[in-house]
């Protein structure tokens, strides 16, 4: 039985490890922290007794790789799926503007959603639909010259249309300022979500905390196939001989009894363990942040599962029953700001939009994820590396590798599956 060491226990590492375990390989997974999940995990908040996510994670019906992975590890039931796209956008004073694909006759249900969307004028609805009809006229080469904002302006999308749909959608999908993100990767996301049938645009949410939603099942699945996990064991360096990884040096030991190694750690962490090997010398990412605030209410009077806020620094509010989870993507400006100032700003916004009074809050928790996602700018898209490396037994996975997708769960899981396929084809 061939032994594969997977470095990193985020979604990419768990995906690679699960697919390889299933194919009969022996897995040892090394994780630097005491837990699985990487950038997508949950924990028990001692103050409130609630399980909270480090950040709300939204999946979509077009996340085929992720859905396959969840199915493989037996975690499918931990996801709640919409039957078709249904978003509750809200303007100030709790003016609800649903964007809802009623009925299942694709694509007419999406068209009717646009025509019933009250946040934009009739003229803007026509511009919006025109944008979609022209997407396939743009080549990758055209789009690589444009940022998302430049593309939207070229297609005469109005300021209100950008604020009422494009900005919230693009910032959530790419976690990047629309002035920086590549139009090419944005077009790929739009095609995946809106041009692949009815299910693709439906929102999927984990129905449990993230750790319970997939980490526990992945752990069980891999353990049942005789895989092994080592926690709190960061890899420090990889020793190479004749273009082959010979030893993995961790903080606890030197490992040499393996056939292949998969790195499923972020680029900045990989560069550290590859110091002195001139590995990916031309690749550096800029990152953007996500801020999540969990607000515990004395009484929860909200009925919808989530709201998208139009023209606000706060993009989404999720109703988790026990609490509200407030999401600010592209949140670099908030990273140096105190918790008190952030909560003031959030409460001001929520008061304006969903009429939430300060006195309704019992306590709150703010989580800042500084390097939540790499910025998918035109400069770096072609530099994302494939699964292969100059070392014969060493493969790359991670949401940042060349999956054609932005830094998402789907990209991470896809990269893990690709790495597993590369090992299997040896
Ligand atoms: C707040 C937030 C909200 C998000 N929301 C969404 C969303 O709504 N939808 C969506 O699709 N995506 C979302 N994402 C993105 C998604 O979480 C990531 O794309 C995905 O989790 C990345 O997985 P990964 O396995 O590639 O990397 P990571 O999750 O970063 O995993 C890497 C793992 O490697 C470990 N590691 C690092 N160095 C070493 C070492 N030397 N030795 C051993 N182990 C090491 C780390 O501890 C970590 O566990 C969000 C991200 C954040 C932070």
Cα separations (Å) of 204 from 66, 72, 100, 199, 273?
11, 17, 15, 10, 36
Write down the pLDDT at residue 366. Answer: 97
- Tell me the best of 210, 261, 409 to mutate to test the pocket of ligand 1, counting ligand atoms within 8 Å of each CB and taking the most: 409
Q: Domains in the chain, please, with CATH?
A: 3-76+207-285+384-424 (3.50.50.60), 83-201 (no CATH), 287-374 (3.90.660.10)
> CA dist 188 to 144, 170, 182, 192, 193, Å?
12, 12, 10, 6, 9
Nearest ligand 1 atom, CA 35:
49
Instruction: Pick the atom of ligand 1 nearest to 13's CA.
Output: 25
- Could you identify the atom of ligand 1 that is nearest to the CA of residue 411? 19
Tell the residue nearest (CA) to atom 48 of ligand 1: 38
**What is the distance in A from the centroid of ligand 1 to the CA of 9?**
9
DSSP class of residue 212 equals: I
User: Which of 5, 7, 10, 376 best tests ligand 1's pocket when mutated (most atoms within 8 Å of CB)?
Assistant: 10
Tell which atom from ligand 1 comes closest to the C-alpha of 399: 26
Listed in order, strand segments (DSSP E) in 310-386 are: 316-319, 323-329, 361-374
Which pLDDT does position 322 carry in this prediction?
83
Cα separation, 373 vs 375, whole angstroms: 6
Give the separation between CA 218 and CA 53, rounded to whole angstroms.
Answer: 18
Counting atoms of ligand 1 from 1, which one is nearest the CA of 12? 25
What is the side-by-side strand order in the sheet with 244-250? 235-241, 244-250, 254-255
- Give me the tens of pLDDT residue by residue for the chain, a chain 426 residues long: 999 999 999 999 999 999 999 999 999 999 999 999 999 999 999 999 999 999 999 999 999 999 999 999 999 999 999 999 999 999 999 999 999 998 778 899 999 999 999 999 999 999 999 999 999 999 999 999 999 999 999 999 999 999 999 999 999 899 899 999 999 999 999 999 999 988 999 999 999 999 999 999 999 999 999 999 999 999 999 999 999 999 999 999 999 999 999 999 999 999 999 999 999 999 999 999 999 999 999 999 999 999 999 999 999 999 998 899 999 999 999 999 999 999 999 999 999 999 999 999 999 999 999 999 999 999 999 999 999 999 999 999 999 999 999 999 999 999 999 999 999 999
Q: How far apart are CA 276 and CA 239, in angstroms?
A: 11
Backbone torsions φ then ψ of 128, nearest 5 degrees: -60, -50
What's the gap in Å between 63 CA and the centre of ligand 1? Answer: 16
- Rounded (5°) CA angle 184-419-401: 30
Compute the distance from residue 420 Cα to the ligand 1 centre, in Å. 18
């Amino acid at each position: 039985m061939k032994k594969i060491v997977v470095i990193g226990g985020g979604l990419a590492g768990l995906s690679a490890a699960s697919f390889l375990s299933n194919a009969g390989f022996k897995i040892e997974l090394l994780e630097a922290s005491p837990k699985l999940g990487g950038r997508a995990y949950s924990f028990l908040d001692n103050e409130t007794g609630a399980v909270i996510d480090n950040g709300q994670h939204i999946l979509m019906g077009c996340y085929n790789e992720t859905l396959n992975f969840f199915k493989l590890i037996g975690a499918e039931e931990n996801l709640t799926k919409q039957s078709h796209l249904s978003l509750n956008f809200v303007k100030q004073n709790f003016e609800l503007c649903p964007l809802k694909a009623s009925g299942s006759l694709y694509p007419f249900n999406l068209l009717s959603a646009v025509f019933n969307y009250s946040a934009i004028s009739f003229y803007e609805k026509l511009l919006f639909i025109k944008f979609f009809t022209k997407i396939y006229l743009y080549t990758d080469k055209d789009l690589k010259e444009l940022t998302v904002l430049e593309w939207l302006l070229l297609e005469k999308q109005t300021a209100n249309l950008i604020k009422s749909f494009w900005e919230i959608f693009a910032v959530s999908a790419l976690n990047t300022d629309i002035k920086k993100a590549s139009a090419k990767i944005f077009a790929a996301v739009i095609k995946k979500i809106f041009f692949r049938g009815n299910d693709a645009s439906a929102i999927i949410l984990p129905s449990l905390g993230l750790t319970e939603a997939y980490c526990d099942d992945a752990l069980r699945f891999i353990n049942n196939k005789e895989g092994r996990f080592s926690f709190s064991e960061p890899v420090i360096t990889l020793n190479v001989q004749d273009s082959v990884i010979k030893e993995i040096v961790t903080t606890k030991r030197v490992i040499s009894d393996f056939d292949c190694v998969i790195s499923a750690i972020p680029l900045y962490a990989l560069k550290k363990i590859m110091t002195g090997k001139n590995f990916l010398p031309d690749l550096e990412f800029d990152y953007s942040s996500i801020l999540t605030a969990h607000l515990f209410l004395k009484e929860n009077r909200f009925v919808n599962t989530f709201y998208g806020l139009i023209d606000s620094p706060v993009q989404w509010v999720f109703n988790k029953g026990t609490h509200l989870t407030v999401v600010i993507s592209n949140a670099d400006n908030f990273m140096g700001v105190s918790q008190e100032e952030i909560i003031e700003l959030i409460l001001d916004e929520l008061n304006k939009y969903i009429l939430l009074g300060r006195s309704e809050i019992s306590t709150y928790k703010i989580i800042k994820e500084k390097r939540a996602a790499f910025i998918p700018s035109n400069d770096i898209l072609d530099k994302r590396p494939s699964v292969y490396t100059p070392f014969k037994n060493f493969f790359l996975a991670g949401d940042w590798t060349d999956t054609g997708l932005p830094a998402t769960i789907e990209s991470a899981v896809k990269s893990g599956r690709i790495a597993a396929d590369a090992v299997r084809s040896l």
